[in-house]
Amino acid sequence: MAIRILVVDDHPVVRQGLKTLLEGRDGWEVIGEASDGAEALEKAKYLNPDVMVLDVTMPKMNGLEACRLLRKETPQLEILFVTQHDSPQMMREALDAGARGYVVKSNAARDLLAAVEAVSQHRIFTALNGRDAAGSNTNSGVHL
Amino acid sequence: MKLRILLADDHEIVRRGLRALLERHEGWEVCGEASDGREAFEKALELKPDVVIVDIGMPNLNGLDTTRQLLQHDPHFKVIVLTITDSDQVIREALDAGARGFVLKSDAARDLVSAVEALQNKRMFFTPRVNDLVLAGFLEKGHSISRNEAPKLPTLTAREREITQLLAEGNSSKEVASLLNLSTKTVETHRSNIMRKLSFHSIRDLVVYAIKNNLIQIEIPPPPKTPTGPTAA
């Protein structure tokens, strides 16, 4: 299945790593990159991606703020967080902000492809380092 | 002959990005990868790369101590340190450790290729802030870097620093012993010496020390969402 992806992270090297991984999958295309939340909002409007891979901690506008705004402006877009924060609280906040998926950066090479596939099909995917999300009905590493 | 590079970072996604960046350069190859300092040390000895790129904030053995141990073993190793911060203290420690290159992670896409090229040509590569600091120290302190703000703490040995990092990362003495192939009793002795030298009484003191001295790094999450509407009384 073809999936058009926008990658958002303030570190170009991380964007390159994510891009290399994502484009290894047949039919998946990274159609754009952004380095902060504000640029992500702008690019989401005119590139119209299927999935946005979004970092939490970024300058200008962090990923959570961007996610809340994107939910209102581009409701068809599915958002997957890829972040350093291996925290159930942060994951809960990301899902509350309207994200469909949450993956920890240190496990991205393992979880990212399955996560993008799940969220592109409008399923939830969350994966912390071996813990369940607090107060969530999702399980670690499980897509529902 | 190709220039052989060893990459050490605990995030595979970062290693992928760095590899893609470096292998675009004709005549360079990434000959190996490591996900922590101990693995980097072992692979460097095994693969004998021309350049070693180490992230500072790695588990088990951080990048600065990896650099120290590599150069202690063989001063011919050429090491570039990757860091998320260019604070004065980190710069000093990287220079003290013997790094020949210092690149901010956020600027790696722009600077890393230049840094490797510099080392390839037997030069060094530092960010403008490092150059400023070195120059300031040279001018103000007579050919040495100013250390006025450096904390006056007793010096730990390389082994003690290694054990401090592992304890601060949450390992028990038994786990540290297993990781370093030492007896638990030896680790307990090192642990007592560390606590005595630093006048610490709890593991909490040790964790704070490890963070302040860049033995471990922590990620600060963004502040929680603030309510925008009126709240009920």
Helices marked H in chain B — which ranges?
Answer: 12-23, 37-47, 63-73, 88-97, 108-120, 128-141, 158-168, 173-180, 184-198, 203-212
Interstrand relation of B3-8 and B28-34 (parallel, antiparallel or unpaired): parallel
Nearest Cα of chain A lies from the Cα of B112 at a distance, in angstroms, of 10
Residue A52 identity: M
Residuewise pLDDT in 10s, chain B (233 residues): 899 999 999 999 999 999 999 999 999 999 999 999 999 999 999 999 999 999 998 988 999 999 999 999 999 999 999 988 877 778 888 888 899 999 988 888 889 999 999 999 989 998 877 777 777 766 665 544 444 444 555 688 888 988 999 998 888 999 999 999 899 999 999 999 999 888 888 888 888 888 888 788 776 666 665 554 443 33
What mean pLDDT, rounded, does chain A reach?
A: 88
- Which residues on A lie below 8 Å from B221 (Cβ)? 56-57, 85, 87, 90
Q: Are A10 and B21 an interchain contact pair (Cβ–Cβ within 8 Å)?
A: no
Nearest Cα of chain B lies from the Cα of A65 at a distance, in angstroms, of 8
- Taking CA–CA distances from A62, the nearest residue in chain B reads B222
The ipTM of this complex is: 0.81
Residue A137: predicted pLDDT: 37
Report d(CA B23, CA B110) in Å as an integer.
Answer: 14
Q: Return the exposure string of B182-202: e unless at least 16 CB atoms fall within 10 Å of the residue's CB, then b.
A: beeeebeebbeebbeebebee
CA A12 to chain centre: 16
**Paired strand residues for A8:** A34, A54
Q: Are B17 and A14 an interchain contact pair (Cβ–Cβ within 8 Å)?
A: yes
Interface size, chain A vs chain B, as Cβ–Cβ contacts under 8 Å: 76
Q: Is B16 on the interface with A (CB under 8 A)?
A: yes
What the block records as the tokens of A74 is 């581009």
pLDDT band at A14 (very low <50, low <70, confident <90, very high): very high
Residue A124 identity: I
Q: Are B57 and B36 in contact (CB under 8 A)?
A: no
pLDDT, one tens digit per residue, over A65-124 is 999 999 998 989 999 999 988 889 999 999 999 999 999 998 888 899 999 999 999 999
pTM: 0.78
A12, A87, A112 member nearest B109 (Cβ): A12
Nearest Cα of chain B lies from the Cα of A35 at a distance, in angstroms, of 11
* Residue A112 host element (H or E): helix A108-120
Nearest Cα of chain A lies from the Cα of B220 at a distance, in angstroms, of 9
Q: Are B13 and A21 an interchain contact pair (Cβ–Cβ within 8 Å)?
A: yes
